[in-house]
Amino acid sequence: MKIQKRLYSYYLIWPALLIYSIFFVLPALIGLYYSFTDWRLDRLEINFVGWDNFTRIFTDDTLLLALKNTFIFAVATVVGKNVLGIALAVALNMRLKTRNLLRAIFYSPSILSILVIGIVFTPLLRTEGAVNRILESIGLHGLSQAWLTDPSIVIWTIAAVSIWQTTGFQMAIYLAGLQSISKDYYEAATIDGATSWKSFRHITLPLLLPAININVMLTLIGGLKVFSEVFILTGGGPGNASQVFGTIILRTFGEGSWGLGTAINTLLFAFVAVISIPLLIFMRRKEVSE
């Protein structure tokens, strides 16, 4: 009877584990195998080639550029979305008459389709677009750029659009965290003579760590898996200047190089796991210690 009680919870888990294994774990393992083969659309025979696909990734200039752009995008969006998200949350947690309206305004871009955002921003960011015209009209000619056609800044432009779109979502999570912090802490700090900055540093940030952990992980994984923003705004151009792993995977599969495409996808999975899991463990420990 005791054994049955202990196993009862496992009986409830097994169906979910079985479905997860069939539709996620098994395809992942099959994909891992094919990443070590020369699987192509124009061939019937599939041969094991070892590490050749992965060696090609680290020797091909386009693939290395895609790897670099992926990390640039991930770092830029993690920093931008979280810093701005915290700033907006703190500002809109104050007693402003229009705070509910402002919250809705800042959150609304996150519910828009990336396709709609691409249609809106593409003409705005052209060389002769509204952004450059506004900058020139206020005398900031030096800031006028070819936002989507200059290879040196295009990935940063795409990152800025992504930050604009989803910072409101991070803001909402931070707002929920801020509203769970008791005002007694701030009142005690004020009595002790603490400044607003010290209260923010020693009270707000430590107690906001759970929300920070969630947002950092969401933005990091989303940044490393970026695809839609690049595909809609530039398609990986100009040339290959804004290619990321997501767009390279699509192009590689489209060309019929399924083995190489699977290898790139496997490498992307490895990067996400290797970066996110240790970071999550570190942040969890930091959260507990605080």
- Residue 266's alpha-carbon distances to 2, 23, 59, 171, in angstroms, are 43, 17, 17, 32
Q: What is the pLDDT of residue 81?
A: 97
Question: Which run of H or E residues covers position 212?
Answer: helix 209-224
Low-confidence stretches of the chain (pLDDT < 70) are: 1-5, 287-290
Q: What is the pLDDT of residue 290?
A: 60
- Residue 124: give the domain boundaries: 61-289
Domain annotation covers residue 53: no
Domain annotation covers residue 127: yes
Domain annotation covers residue 203: yes
- As given in the structure block, the two tokens for residue 201 are 């540093």
Domain annotation covers residue 20: no
Domain annotation covers residue 156: yes
**For position 121, which CATH number holds?**
1.10.3720.10
> Can you give 70-137 as a three-state secondary structure string?
HHHHHHHHHHHHHHHHHHHHHHHCCCCCCHHHHHHHHHHHHHCCHHHHHHHHHHHCCCCCHHHHHHHH
Sorted by sequence, the CB contacts under 8 Å of residue 207 that are 6+ apart come out as: 177, 180, 181, 185, 290
27: cis peptide before it, omega within 30°? no
Q: What is the pLDDT of residue 285?
A: 81
Domain annotation covers residue 26: no
Domain annotation covers residue 228: yes
By the 8 A CB rule, do 41 and 258 touch? yes
Q: What tens digit of pLDDT does each residue of 133-172 get?
A: 998 898 888 888 999 999 999 999 999 999 999 999 999 9
Domain annotation covers residue 197: yes
DSSP state of 238: S
